[in-house]
Amino acid sequence: MEPEQWQRVKDVFASALECDPRERHSFLDAACGLDAELRFEVESLLESDESSGDFIEKPPPELNLLLSDERPAVAEIGKRVGAYELVREIGSGGMGTVYLAVRADAEFQKHVAIKLIRKGMESDLILNRFRKERQILASLEHPNIARLIDAGATPDGQPYLVMEYVEGQPIDHYCEMSDLSIRQRVALFRDVCAAVQCAHQSLIVHRDLKPGNVLVTPLGQPKLLDFGIAKLLEGRQDPSPAPTRTGMPLMTPEYASPEQIRAEAVTTVSDVYSLGVILYQLLAGRYPYTRKGNSIWEVQRIVCDEDPAKPSSVALRGPLDTAAENVVTPAKNRLTRELRPRTVSRQLRGDLDNIVLKAMAKEPSRRYSSAEALSEDLRRYLDGEPVAAHPPTIRYRALKFARRYRTSVTAAALLFVTLAGGIVATTQQAHKAQRERERAEASFERANRERARADNEAAAALAVNDFLRNDLLAQASANIQARPDTKPNPDLKVRTALDRAAARITGKFDNQPLVEAAIRQTIGDTYTDLGLYSEAQTQVERALTIRRRVLGDKHPDTLTSMQKLSLLCWYRAKYSDAEPLLIQVVNTRRHLLGNANRDTLSAMNDLALLYWYQGKSADAEPLFKTVLETRRRILGQEHPDVLSSMTNLAGLYVQQGNYASAETFFAKVLEVRNRVLGPEHPDTLLTMNNLAVVYWDQGQYRPLKSCSLKCWP
């Protein structure tokens, strides 16, 4: 099943779980429509969910020790652990219990916190994680991180950690109970950033930052706790073998970054995201997202797909009513209860809004590069200096929206996408035309020809722009939707708008055939992005017909349409139609542009891939090799296009059973990507996974294990 299809199955299944069982049949009728496969998959999941009964809610007796909240903690009270005696339980987690303890010899009074692995949970995985936490704590020295004092094992072999006892409140409760102002909260939060930065400088990612893991003492000093699921980054020597990852990654989903939710590579900026969520909560008094259900997929949906409202707009709502809102935080925001909401909102509006939302950006590359950078921007805010954070551009928001709702984006999003994309592209073409006119003045005769061509291009670009604005975007306007011949639709979708616009092209540009071709190509490209390949092929075929007639078979625009048409045939599994088109593009570009031209190499690579997909490895291999050798010579050994060609050839070798050659190529690609992109870049991890597959196919289990543990820490 394709990833997009599986995501659709998960979304419908999650929504169905929230429905009254008596209404599920009607819901599935509406949600699945005529998609029988989708309905079958969702109903299968629902049946599995029902057949599982109450296993999760009521575990069998043998699992009670692991899953029950009723731990035999009382039996441990008074027990001696090292030089200390356990006094009372003060907390518990997934693998252990934390006790308040005092010196047993009474030589001096000292309170400590002792963490013991819960009896019955001494598995290799838990023990390795416990040892890793001990190693991490031993390496950290910072006034805002709880210190490790001692470690050892009880006479019966139960491991323990002796840590600094922190008497305090979770940071969100402390801020509320202490009535801290906005500026005081920001200053306190900067101390937390300093603690996280210290961990990052030691190549440690916490991975579970949340208010409950940041306690603030009565003196106002925050202390970072619980490195139980922290991760050692590449470069730190980890003495214990990494456990195999199974199921959902360890984390608190409400504070986890999108990449943690998706089980992707975790880096220090993953902690920056979690810091952003905490800061949002401290300033606005609420969790950034509103959940519509309790399933893990609902958390995944909101964290990965929904943009949080600005903290200032949330604060404007006034005091928090936890009974009326589905929120995670238990705090009731005194700022908005005792001050006028508009006063708090004004303090958050602008710089603090931008800082929080930058820290919480969905894409890691758009966040602050470090906890220190986040703290520094907060310092600028406190000192009245310009901050580095700024709102995302209209173009970025439009493209992001379009990617997220690719198959059902509304006309409002279409307006943004077209203005930010199509009109910007038109402006660029107009600038290009102007530059060409200026160059042409050097020669009168040449100038006339170039000026005419540039004018035609500019006119064509403006005509395309007019069509996009007046015929495509206008579909969403109130005036058009109010006409008697148009059925009003407040949720007009891209598909509907495109269909209407495509129907209006015929006959509209009889005197401007190249404008019609450009418009049809644009609409075809959009259909392709939406996965509507049949509709896309209709438009691209017409664009190609016009360009062949007006420009000839050798014009660059004609060849572009030809290559895109071949890919559409390929996507629709019409290989016999795709192959001759691609061969013609390759041969023409070779003749006109040469073998070393980037467009020529792109077409050759597509043709090799097409051969490979058809099982014609004898035709694909020499073409892959030619593209690789040419790209190496022109671009160098480490260019992304070269690495892509090496990956393609290695994949072909795997299909042929030539594992030695495949291993050589994948290993070289991995070495370069590991050095250039870093060990946790998605491309590096993908290459590592490919290499693991080769080891598996060859039965080389020792390198397979090493590779797999690096790929799935």
Catalytic positions are 208
Classify 204 as helix, strand or coil.
strand
Classify 468 as helix, strand or coil.
helix
Burial class, 285, CB count within 10 angstroms (exposed 0-12 / middle 13-18 / buried 19+): buried
Written as six digits, the tokens of 671 are 């070495």
Q: d(Cα 291, Cα 280) in Å, to the nearest integer?
A: 16
Residue bearing tokens 């949002």: 280
Written as six digits, the tokens of 314 are 């949330």
Q: d(Cα 426, Cα 50) in Å, to the nearest integer?
A: 55
Q: 561 with 521: CB under 8 angstroms?
A: yes
Listed in order, strand segments (DSSP E) in 93-179 are 96-103, 111-117, 148-153, 159-164, 169-170
Give, rounded to a whole angstrom, the gap between the first and last alpha carbons of the chain.
26
User: Where is 222: in which H helix or E strand?
Assistant: strand 222-224
Q: d(Cα 59, Cα 68) in Å, to the nearest integer?
A: 9
24: alpha, beta or left, given left = phi > 0 and alpha = psi -120 to 50? alpha
**Positive or negative CA dihedral for 480, 486, 491, 497?**
negative
Angle at 692 between CA 627 and CA 624, to 5 degrees: 10
Among 145, 140, 192, 191, residue whose Cα is nearest residue 164:
145
688 Cβ contact list (under 8 Å, min separation 6):
670, 707, 710, 711
Other beta carbons within 10 Å of 391: 13
Written as six digits, the tokens of 576 are 């016999």
CA distances from 461 to 429, 512, 553 (A): 7, 11, 22
Q: 399 with 420: CB under 8 angstroms?
A: yes
Written as six digits, the tokens of 355 are 């800082």
Angle between helices 533-551 and 494-503 (to 10 degrees): 40
Half-sphere exposure of 157 (CA within 13 A, CB side): 6
Among 441, 485, 481, 435, residue whose Cα is nearest residue 458:
435
Q: d(Cα 627, Cα 608) in Å, to the nearest integer?
A: 9
The residues facing 160 across adjacent strands are 116, 152
- Residue 249 has what DSSP assignment? P
Give Rg (Cα) of the chain: 31
Q: d(Cα 449, Cα 445) in Å, to the nearest integer?
A: 7
203 Cβ contact list (under 8 Å, min separation 6):
232, 233, 234, 235, 236
Angle between helices 268-284 and 371-382 (to 10 degrees): 30
150 Cβ contact list (under 8 Å, min separation 6):
82, 83, 161, 162
